[in-house]
Structure formats: C-alpha cells, structure tokens
Amino acid sequence: MTDTTCISTNTIHAIQNANSVVGFKDWLGLIALFLSATVAVLIGQYLQDRKAKRDRIYQNKFSIFATILGLRHSRALNEQFVIAINQIPVVFHNNKEILVKLDRFIKTHVDNSLKDKAIENLNSDLNDLVLEMAKDLGYTNIDNNVMKSFYYPDASFFRHQSDLIYNELSSLEKYPLLLEARERDKSRKSSGK
C-alpha cells in the first residue's frame, strides 16, 4: 500500500508541476502578446507622428511657394507676398541654395541706389528663388517660361491701387490724432506720471 500511495502522491505532484509549468508558459504567452501589441501601437504612433510632421513641413513650404508664385506679378505691393518672402528663412532653413537666392533677391530690392539693377534683375532674382523652391518641393517641370507668364488683368491692378489709396487716405486722416497721442505720451513721461 505504501508503494501505491507513494506512486499516487508522486503522480499528483508531477501533474501539479506540469500544470504550473503550463500555467507559467500561458502567463509568458499573455505577457508577450500584451507587450507586442503595446510595442506595435507605440511604433505606429511614432510613424504617424513622423508622417504628420513631414506633411506639415511640406504644407508650410507649399503655401509659401504657392503664395509667391501666385503673387509674383504684384510683388511688394501685396502684403501676403512680403509675408511669404519673410517666412522663407524659417520654413526653408535647411536649404542653403534657397537662402542664398533669397538673400540676393532681398539685396536687389532693398537698396535704392541699385534701383535700376533691381528692375533689371527683378524677374531673374525672383525666378531663381521660386525655381529653387520648386526643386525643393519636387516640382521639376517649372521653368522660367512658367515664371514669366502670369494673369494680371487691369481690373485687379486698379482694385489693388484703390485699396492702397484708401489705406493711404485713412492713415493721413488719422495722422493728426496719432501726433496728439504721441505728444500726450511724451508729456506724461516727462512729468513723471
């Protein structure tokens, strides 16, 4: 009897050990499954964030490119054109060719002593800048012919001119009020109030 009891007890212990090993393997499987799902989600989120960042950078670059290309006929007369030009150093900061061409464009359009040279180079400096931006964005089919042709009807020109005249008249009308406010501010500062 003792032998049967001993064998039964040993068999029960063997079965319990086998169950605990299987249980341990089941737990390891569950942990591995959970970890792999977590890692997959984290990697997916990382890749999605990277793609969103690339898309945002492309959209910023394209917006500036499209604004400059669309307003090339009016240039500095249009505030959006000026804003787009001034955003280039930030948005295209990693493209040295664009920054060099931007610098050349700005230098030919700021110095009044070079006015004739600026008019002479107006198209080529701007064209070079826009063509370099097009290359950065992957547009290989834009050339100087595309840049030199544009649609700018007289009605658009006169509407823009009327806006400029209205803004000028409005600022001239408010100029005396601005001077009075400046004088009051100076007198307050000098009296120590």
pLDDT in tens, 166-191: 777 777 787 788 788 888 888 888 87
With respect to residue 5, please indicate whether it lies within any of the assigned structural domains. no
pTM over 0.75: no
Alpha carbon distances (Å) from 182 to 138, 156, 192: 51, 37, 15
Do 132 and 169 belong to one domain?
no
With respect to residue 8, please indicate whether it lies within any of the assigned structural domains. no
Domain that holds residue 175: 153-193
Q: What is the pLDDT of residues 121-166, one digit of tens each?
A: 446 788 888 889 999 999 888 777 766 666 666 666 666 666 667 7
pLDDT band at 21 (very low <50, low <70, confident <90, very high): low
For residues 168 and 181, what is the distance between their CA atoms, to the nearest angstrom?
19
Do 19 and 111 belong to one domain?
yes
Do 68 and 105 belong to one domain?
yes
Do 68 and 141 belong to one domain?
yes
Do 180 and 142 belong to one domain?
no
Q: Let me know: does 168 contact 160? Beta carbons within 8 Å.
A: no
- Per-residue burial over 40-63, b = 16 or more CB atoms within 10 Å of its CB, e = otherwise: eeeeeeeeeeeeeeeeeeeeebee
Do 142 and 51 belong to one domain?
yes
Q: Look at residue 71 and tell me whether its pLDDT is greater than 90.
A: no
The count of structural domains within the chain is 2
Q: Let me know: does 65 contact 134? Beta carbons within 8 Å.
A: yes
With respect to residue 53, please indicate whether it lies within any of the assigned structural domains. yes
With respect to residue 4, please indicate whether it lies within any of the assigned structural domains. no
Do 105 and 170 belong to one domain?
no
With respect to residue 2, please indicate whether it lies within any of the assigned structural domains. no
For residues 64 and 20, what is the distance between their CA atoms, to the nearest angstrom?
66
For residues 150 and 126, what is the distance between their CA atoms, to the nearest angstrom?
14
Do 60 and 141 belong to one domain?
yes
Do 91 and 29 belong to one domain?
yes
